[in-house]
Amino acid sequence: MLFSRMMMTGVLSLMLVGCGNLSHVTDEGTTEEVVWPSPDRVMFNHDGTQKGSWPLPEKLRQIKAGMNKDQIYQLVGRPHFAEGLFGVREWDYLFNFTGPDGDYTCQYKILFDRNMDARSFYWKPENCLPETKTAEYRESVPGDILFDFDSSALTEKGRDELSRVAEKFRVRHVVGVNIEGFTDHLGGREYNRLLSEKRAESVRGWFIAQGFKAERIQATGRGDDEPVVLCPGLEGDALKECLRPNRRVEITGQGIR
C-alpha cells in the first residue's frame, strides 16, 4: 500500500514536471522574451548518439498560425523536449539540415494561444530553414482609422486594424517589419514630419507588444513626402477630405515563402 502511494506520488510529480512553459506565454500566444531549452536536454535521440530529427523543409513551410497540435504533429512529429502533459503552450524542436557547407542543427519553437492554436514561431539561429525565399507583404492603413485628428495615440478601431495586419504577418512567417508614417501637406512641414514619426513609433510599439521582435521593426516618419493625391483647386473641408489617402501608415513585412 505504501509502495503504491509512493508510486502514485512519483507519477504525479512527473506529470507536473514541465507543466509551466519556459517562456512566459500570453493568452494570445506571444512572449516578450523567448527562452530556449538547452540542446543537451533533448529527448528525441532514440538509442543512437545523434540528437533531434531531420524534417522535410517543405513540411516545415506548411506550418502556419491557427494550426492545432495534431496538425503540427502530422507535419513534424512530437516535440523534442520535456514539455510536460497539461496546459503546455510551448513546443520545442531540434532539427538537423544539410546545407552547402555541410550539416547543421537549429532549434525551433512554437507558441500556442489560450485556445491551443499555434500563434508564434521562432528559430535559433534566425532564418535557419534552408533554401528559403523572401517575400514582401505591404499593407497601407488609413491614418484616420489609426489615429484621431492631430494625435499619435492609437484608436480602438486602429488597434483592431493592426490586429488584422499582424495575423496576416504571422501566417506568412514575417520576420521583419518596416513602418512608414505619412501626413498630408496641411500644416508646417516640420510639424508634419514629427507627427508622422510619432505615429510610426506608436505602431511599432504596438507590434512589439504583440510579440514581434523590437530589433526587427523599423519606424520612420515621412511627413508629407510621397503624396498619393494632390487635389489642386480645392479648399477647406473638400481639400481635407480629398487629401485623406495621403494620411496613412504603410507597413511592409519581410517574410518567408
Looking at the domain covering 22-124, what would its CATH class be?
A: alpha beta
Structure confidence at residue 175 as a pLDDT band (50, 70, 90): confident
d(Cα 207, Cα 161) in Å, to the nearest integer? 12
> Could you identify the residue written with the cell 514581434?
212
The answer to pTM > 0.75 is no
- On the 0-12 / 13-18 / 19+ scale of CB atoms within 10 A, 252 is middle
Q: Which CATH number fits domain 134-256: 3.30.1330.60, 3.40.50.10490, 3.40.710.10, 3.30.70.100?
A: 3.30.1330.60
Q: Is residue 247 very low, low, confident or very high in pLDDT (cuts 50, 70, 90)?
A: very high
CA distances from 197 to 155, 161, 180, 194 (A): 17, 19, 8, 5
The reported pLDDT for the residue numbered 13 is 42
User: In this model, does residue 168 exceed pLDDT 70?
Assistant: yes
Residue 95: its pLDDT value, please?
A: 95
pLDDT of residue 23: 83
How far is the C-alpha of 256 from the C-alpha of 218, rounded, in Å?
Answer: 18
Contacts of 152 (CB under 8 A, 6+ apart): 195, 198, 199, 201, 202
Q: Which of 17-21, 154-158, 159-163, 184-188 has the lowest mean pLDDT?
A: 17-21
Mean pLDDT score across all residues of the chain: 87
Check residue 118 and give its pLDDT: 96
Do the domains at 22-124 and 134-256 have one common CATH topology?
A: no
The count of C-alpha atoms lying within 13 angstroms of the C-alpha of 47, restricted to the half-sphere facing its C-beta, is 0
User: If 0-12 CB within 10 Å is exposed, 13-18 middle and 19+ buried, where does residue 9 land?
Assistant: exposed
Are 131 and 180 in contact by the 8 Å Cβ rule? The answer is: no
Share of the chain above pLDDT 90, in %: 63
* 3-state DSSP assignment of residue 41: helix
| pLDDT tens sequence across 187-241 | 899 999 999 999 999 999 999 999 898 888 999 999 999 999 999 999 999 999 9
Condensed to tens digits (0 to 9), the pLDDT of residues 129-158 reads 775 567 889 999 999 999 988 899 999 999
Higher pLDDT, 12 or 179: 179
Domain ranges across the chain:
22-124, 134-256
pLDDT attached to residue 21: 65
Segment 15-30 shows an average pLDDT of: 71
- What was the pLDDT predicted at 238? 94
Q: What burial class does residue 12 get, using C-beta atoms within 10 Å of its C-beta: 0-12 exposed, 13-18 middle, 19+ buried?
A: exposed
Q: Are 110 and 86 in contact (CB under 8 A)?
A: no
**b/e per residue, 23-32, with b = 16+ CB within 10 A?**
bebbebbbbe
Q: What is the pLDDT of residues 79-121, one digit of tens each?
A: 999 877 678 999 999 999 987 788 899 999 999 999 999 999 9
Residue whose grid cell is 533531434: 52
